[in-house]
Structure 1
């Protein structure tokens, strides 16, 4: 069984070897053009890398193999990529969540919940990362409107700083009649 442990690593190495071969042999190897995304596409990915359509099972298998093979090497090299966790998906936008590690996502979501608890325009809650230096953020209510039928909605601006890079995202959150908390409104 231990010899199968190295198969994902060899697959990753083989995949990485294609790029240098293309660079060395130029026109000998067929070059495939990479499609460029159109700026006017109707879909908003919220700041996270856009996924591909296709076989979910195939992506899951290949993703698991590649993740195991090269995940620790990427972490050691300082390459990080965050995915929004399910626990905060109804509170944080992808533009914010993709820049935060899972613990920071929870902190940012708690700050949003604290800010909206008062329901007052201008109400703000701030947080500082417990897992990384130079990471902090805040959530501020910037507008409120009550809709017909008892639905209450607010606009909240999330602001984060990650290693000096500022990101701001405004989101609309609503609370249906009888519900205890605000959640991201569907676009």
Structure 2
């Protein structure tokens, strides 16, 4: 059977007429819709705040945060892509746009003549500093503060279980799991020099 929304329910039959196993039920689909709606609204609130405070998109913020946490505030493009869980082509396009805006810089890599570093610029560090407090405030107010300690434990457990069921993926770097920091201009100037 297919619901009006196009979702398969647990009563779906195979062509041979036998009941398929493991299809989501109506409660599962309701959970999925609620999860997707929650994530969409959180993403929208974060994006609006980043735009308001620093004129950044969420992907720009994620790149700046990853660079701010890296040693010397710089990473090779491949390592930056890995830290964000992105494809290399996506990071290449994102870095090009951010270089044009002056948020990051490219620097030659003395270790590998074919490679370049993606470096947090002073302008990027300033934008990250302007965005970090609002980003944290939105997540605290709309997500963390809305949950009881037991809810947080349950969500963390469920998230780990789902991640394990998806299969092996490279472990996230600290950049993906650490709250944003605001590097000082002095540190950034040293890193880009």
Classify the TM-score, shorter chain: under 0.3
Higher relative contact order (CA closer than 8 Å, sequence separation 6+): 2
More strand by share: 1
More helix by share: 2
